[in-house]
Each structure stands twice: as structure tokens, then as C-alpha cells.
Amino acid sequence: MQTMSDDVFGKIVDIESEYKDRGYAQGKEAGKDAGAVEGRELGLEHGFDIGKDLGFYQGWVQTWLDAATTQPGLVPDRAQKKLLAIKAVIDSVPATNIEGAHFDDRLKEIRQKFKVASAMLGVNVSAEGSTAARIIAENVTKLPDFDDTVNIWVYEEIVEGKKLTEIINTQHENV
């Protein structure tokens, strides 16, 4: 026989169970939403880093391949083959996030090949941009329509009592 007090406690237990189930369902849904947002942000951040690295390596490789074309003998044959191997790996990286694409493994492979190619070219890995810029600059100066005037926009500052533009124009250095 059920008493009134048993019935009241049963309702309390049922309400508690109902709220627990409802809270669980709401928490699960909120967790999915929060996970999607966090995953999207992480994907954007990681994707940007991958794109930035790939862009650097692609530009570096193309610069050296162009230098090999414009200045025969500048880039040894073995280095050209290594550059083409790097280019092939870069070209194999999908532009969209495909499951199993192994972006990190491909970047690791590109970095390893990059170090080998840098050594073959006699380029200090930390100064690759400067070396490539120097080679490009040397080639450009040989073109008939080359203009040696370089216009740059500078936020005018005073550095050690002198205008920054004055330092750049006299010392040819952006300090």
C-alpha cells in the first residue's frame, strides 16, 4: 500500500531525474556548439599557419627555379632536382581540409627537403629571403628598362635626432 509520503518522495525523485536528464541533454547540445566553435577557431589558426608556411616554401622554390632559368649554372643540377621535389610535395598538398591529408607530415617533409636544398645552394637557412632578394636584385639591374628609384612609404620618426627618411636616403638602411 502506497502512502501519501511515499507518493510525494516519488514525485521529488521523478522531478530530480527529469531535471538531470533535461540538463544533460542541454549540456550535450551546448558542448557540441562550443566544440564546433573551438574546432573552427583552431582550424582557422592552424590552417593559416600551414598556408603561410606553404606560401613561403613555394615562393622560395619558385625564386630559385626562376634564378636557375635566367642564370644557367647558378643552381647546380642536383639542387634543381631537390627544388623540383619540394615543389612536387607542395603541389600535392590539397587546398581544402581532406581527412587523412596529413598536412603536418607533408610540411615536415618539405622542411627537411628545404634544409637539404639550402645546404646545396650554400644558403644560410635563416637568411634565405635576403639571399633570394639579392639574386633577384642583381638580375633586375641587368634589364634595359630597370629604374633604380625605389619609392617606399615610411611613417616619419625621429631616430637618434634624425628623421627616419633622412637615414634611409643617406645610409640606405631602414633602422
Q: Spell out the long-range contacts of 49-57 with Cβ–Cβ below 8 A and sequence spacing 24 or more.
A: 50/93, 50/103, 50/107, 53/107, 53/110, 54/90, 54/93, 54/107, 54/110, 57/86, 57/90, 57/110, 57/114
Residue 8 pLDDT level (bands cut at 50, 70, 90): low
AA identity, residue 165: T
Q: What is the mean pLDDT of the chain?
A: 79
CA distance 145 to 142: 9
How many C-beta neighbours within 10 Å does residue 81 have?
Answer: 12
Tell me what the mean pLDDT of segment 33-39 comes to: 72
**Nearest-10 Cα torsion for 72, 75, 81, 85:** -120
CA distance 39 to 44: 8
Per the structure block, which three cell numbers stand in for 126?
635563416
> Between residues 116 and 152, which one has the greater pLDDT?
116
**Angle (CA) 154 159 164, round 5°:** 25
- Residue 33: helix, strand or coil by DSSP? helix
- Per-residue pLDDT of 110-148, as tens digits, reads 999 998 998 888 886 654 556 666 677 777 777 777 777
User: Residue 5 has what pLDDT?
Assistant: 52
**Nearest-10 Cα torsion for 108, 111, 112, 117:** 160
For residue 89, pLDDT over 70 is answered with yes
Task: Please state the φ and ψ torsions of residue 159, each to the nearest 5 degrees.
Answer: -120, 115
User: Residue 127 has what pLDDT?
Assistant: 46
